Copies of this chain bind each other. A is one copy, B any other.
Amino acid sequence: MKKCTIFYVSDGTAITAETVGHSLISQFRDIKFKQIRIPFIDSIEKAQDAAQQIGSAKGDYQTLVINTVVDIELRIIIHSGGGLKLDPFNRLLREIEDNLEIKRSPVVGRAHGVVDSKAYTARIDATNYALLNDDGVSVDYDDADLILLGVSRSGKTPTCLYLALQYGVKAANYPLTEEDLDRLKIPGNILKHKEKVYGLTIDPFRLSQIRAERRAGTQYSNQRQCQREVSDAESMFLRNGIQFLSTTDTSIEEISGKILVALNLNNRLH
């Protein structure tokens, strides 16, 4: 497989440059990309260092450079290192200025630097909420924006934490117990909030693997046991009209996005 190096250079966290880069390189499946992040470029010395790194990068193609640094002097230094200069914003900003007849007021490192304190507090509060309402310890779900159900190790906790940190959504989770699964019944304190309940399922074979990493050779990680639990959980979701999805081949981002759509939570955010 041929190789190509791509740099994400930014005066802030480089998250935006990296996100754009991921989208771009995902469209070229026949090339192996080496990704290098160079954040917080806010001085001539750092820009020179970045240029040097870019200049010495190796690959079978021209090196790609996604550069979101705002300061023009620093931009010029960075691009002295060579590579194909990819700027995702300048043209879009000009289009907005021209069409809306407004002028930008450029500020370095704004996108992820300056804190929008209301949104920030919401994210921290939601993270604390997720930690406090993890794994069925809650009895009161009144404050929850959503409640995730699923068998042990089906992906509930990482999803709740991602929803909290990324979107400020208060997500509780409840692991279905043997007793719940035997009775095919959802506990009453959760069922009364049915409009905000969502289910996670998972391929039983994968579940068995995941559980074996924790407790190999036990009933907990036994494949038949996993099959039975997953099948009972899915029956329970269907019987109670709970929407659910499989986490097996799905990224946390996509699981989270689909849950927000399903529970109609996209409009309430930000």
Which residues of A are interface residues toward B (Cβ below 8 A)? 4, 12-16, 19-20, 22-24, 26-31, 35-40, 61-62, 64, 68, 84, 86, 88-89, 91-93, 95-96, 99-100, 102, 104-107, 109-115, 120, 123-124, 127, 131, 155, 157-158, 161-162, 165, 249-254, 256-258, 260-261, 266-267, 269-270
Contacts and interface: CB of A to CB of B under 8 A. Distances in A.
B86 A88 contact: no
Contacts of A115: 249-251
A201 to B, nearest CB: 16
17 contacts: A13-B257, A15-B257, A19-B19, A19-B20, A19-B111, A26-B114, A36-B267, A39-B260, A40-B258, A84-B100, A91-B91, A123-B158, A124-B155, A127-B157, A127-B158, A131-B157, A165-B252
Q: How many copies does the complex hold?
A: 2
Contacts of A254: 12-13, 109, 112-113
Contacts of A29: 105, 107
B30 A102 contact: yes
List the 10 closest A-B pairs by CB distance, nearest first.
A13-B257, A112-B253, A26-B110, A27-B104, A23-B111, A19-B19, A61-B100, A16-B23, A127-B158, A13-B253
B28 A105 contact: yes
A84 B97 CA distance: 11
A96 B28 contact: yes
A93 B66 CA distance: 12
Given A86-B96, A266-B37, A251 B23 contact: no
A257 B40 contact: yes
A245 to B, nearest CB: 12
Contacts of A260: 39
Contacts of A86: 92, 95-96
Contacts of A258: 40
A20 B88 contact: yes
B91 A24 contact: no
B158 A261 contact: no
Contact of A102 (B28, B99, B107, B113): B28
A122 to B, nearest CB: 12
A111 B22 contact: yes
A96 B22 contact: no
Given A26-B114, A27-B110, A124-B155, 7 more contacts: A19-B20, A22-B112, A28-B96, A39-B260, A109-B254, A113-B250, A115-B249
